[in-house]
Structure 1
Amino acid sequence: MAVPGTPRPIDARGWLFEVQDLKASTETWLRIGLLTSFSHSPGENEETEDTTSFDSDGFYEQDVMQRGASISLESKYAADKAGKRDPGQAYVDEDWVSRLGADSRNPVRWRHKSQTAWVLWDATVSPGEQGGGTTEKTSWSATITRCGKPSTAAVTPPPAGGGS
């Protein structure tokens, strides 16, 4: 039995991922729904420089020259009976993935529901494969790659009428 106050593992299904709708007239965040798994890779795109010298006495040395990170999201392709898509998935597929150059960046945020702060990234997105078999639902996936230094923001209550 765990001692009260002892840290416990958190549920993977408690993570929230949102993309900012840059077309909206007010700050609007769209939750990416029906996630089935995610993978955060905090060392993605890291670059190091070997600094080993004769003075290292045979021990390896290095400096980190660049930090990077990415998140891969997997989900079920989501739409209602009328064909209206999950807002977060639709924004990624229909608004974000086709942008190039400086326009290819978009804000994203993520956190576990037990946390009191969002992690904020300026990021690019790469669409993933979609597919499925005879007795399966259609898959959906995307990889979000951080651009620049991350920041944080406090979780605030949603405005009256919903939203996040």
Structure 2
Amino acid sequence: MGRPIDARGWYFEVEDITTPATPVWLRLPNIRSWTYNPSENEETADTTTNDSEGLYEQDVMQRGAKLEVSGEYAQTSGTRDPGQAYIDNVWGYRLGSESRNRIRYRHKSQTDWTIWECTVTPGEQGGEHNAKTSWGATFTRCGAPSTEAVVPDGGA
């Protein structure tokens, strides 16, 4: 029987494609919670016929997935965190075919990244007077995921 893993042990990174010659992955810091929904945007076709003898039948026609991260707005000495800034100031404004980018994620105990081509929806920001400013983003996968081995000196 396997042991549960800590939710805090997950790393999330976004690819900065402003320098296309070399992929640059930017960590998303200060994540407090995240949600992965592997059936988001799933579509089915009802295949029930008289031969089904009153029992429902279906085929899955489309698969999808969504990943939502939320946490706190991050900056150091007045300089915005590069990962959050990329989402809010670059990727979040792209439209059409330009709206796609890549993210990758993994648990610290895993040796492979899961990589998605996806779109992003920047989350709301705000807070009350005795709170930290919130930050978040929702990623909707486009196509099938891929994997890539973790490079030992290539970050998390």
TM-score by length of 2: 0.96
The counterpart of 2:87, out of the listed 86, 89, 92, is 92
Instruction: Say if 2:120 is the partner of 1:125.
Output: yes
Distance 2:90 2:9 in 1: 26
> What do the CA deviations read for 1:83-135 (whole angstroms, capped 9, x no partner)?
11112111111110000000000011111111111111000000111000010
Query: Are 1:77 and 2:70 counterparts?
Result: no
1:7 is aligned, of 2, 9, 14, to 2
Structure 1 distance, partners of 2:2, 2:60, is 31
Q: 1:53 aligns with which of 46, 49, 53?
A: 49
**What amino acid sits opposite 1:54 in the alignment?**
N
Q: Is 2:34 the counterpart of 1:27?
A: no
1:135 aligns with 2:130: yes
Identity percentage over the alignment?
59
Pick aligned residue for 1:16 from 11, 19, 37: 11
- Does the alignment pair 1:63 with 2:59? yes
State the 1:158 CA deviation.
Answer: 2.1
Q: Distance between the aligned counterparts of 1:15 and 1:99, measured in 2?
A: 27
Q: Secondary structure at the match of 1:111?
A: strand
Of 137, 146, 152, the residue aligned with 1:151 is 146
Aligned residues: 155
Q: Which runs of 5+ in 2 are unaligned?
A: none
2:40 is matched with which residue?
44
Kindly report the root-mean-square deviation, in angstroms, between the aligned alpha carbons of the 2 structures: 1.1
State the distance in 1 between where 2:132 and 2:91 align: 24
Alpha-carbon distance in structure 1 between the residues aligned to 2:90 and 2:126? 21
The two structures have a TM-score, normalised by structure 1, of 0.91
AA matched with 2:31: L
